[in-house]
Chains A and B, each alone.
Chain A
Amino acid sequence: DIQMTQSPSSLSASVGDRVTITCRASQGISNYLAWFQQKPGKAPKSLIYAASSLQSGVPSKFSGSGSGTDFTLTISSLQPEDFATYYCQQYNSYPLTFGPGTKVDIK
Chain B
Amino acid sequence: EVQLLESGGGLVQPGGSLRLSCAASGFTFSSYAMSWVRQAPGKGLEWVSAISGSGGSTYYADSVKGRFTISRDNSKNTLYLQMNSLRAEDTAVYYCAKFGVVGAQAPDAFDIWGQGTMVTVSS
Of listed A32, A92, A95, residue having the most chain B CB within 10 A: A95
Complex CA–CA separation, A97 to B111 (angstroms): 16
Interface residue from A55, A89, A92, A94 paired with B111 (Cβ < 8 Å): A55
Complex CA–CA separation, A32 to B64 (angstroms): 24
B interface: dominant SS: strand
Digitize A71-106: 1 where CB-to-B-CB distance is under 8 Å, 0 elsewhere. Answer: 000000000000000010101111111111100000
Q: Is the interface on chain B under 10, 10 to 19, 20 to 34, or 35 or more residues?
A: 20 to 34
Chain B residue nearest in CB terms to A85:
B44
- What residues of B have a CB within 8 angstroms of the CB of A16 in the complex? none
Tell me if A92 and B107 are in contact (CB < 8 A).
Answer: yes
Digitize B88-122: 1 where CB-to-A-CB distance is under 8 Å, 0 elsewhere. Answer: 00000001000010000001111111111000000
Counting CB contacts under 8 A, is B27 at the interface? no
- What residues of B have a CB within 8 angstroms of the CB of A42 in the complex? 115
A interface: dominant SS: loop
Counting CB contacts under 8 A, is A49 at the interface? yes
Tell me if B114 and A43 are in contact (CB < 8 A).
Answer: yes
- What residues of B have a CB within 8 angstroms of the CB of A34 in the complex? 109-110
A46 and B110 in contact (CB under 8 A), knowing A94-B50, A95-B59, A96-B50? Answer: yes
Tell me if B45 and A93 are in contact (CB < 8 A).
Answer: no
**Min CB distance, B119 to chain A, in Å?**
15
Can you sample 15 A-B contacts with CB below 8 Å? A34-B109, A34-B110, A36-B110, A42-B115, A43-B95, A44-B113, A87-B45, A89-B47, A91-B107, A95-B61, A95-B62, A96-B50, A96-B107, A98-B47, A101-B45
Interface residues of B (CB under 8 A from A): 35, 37, 44-47, 50, 59-62, 95, 100, 107-116
**Pairs of residues from A and B, 6 with the lowest C-beta to C-beta distance, nearest first:** A49-B109, A96-B47, A91-B107, A34-B109, A98-B45, A43-B113
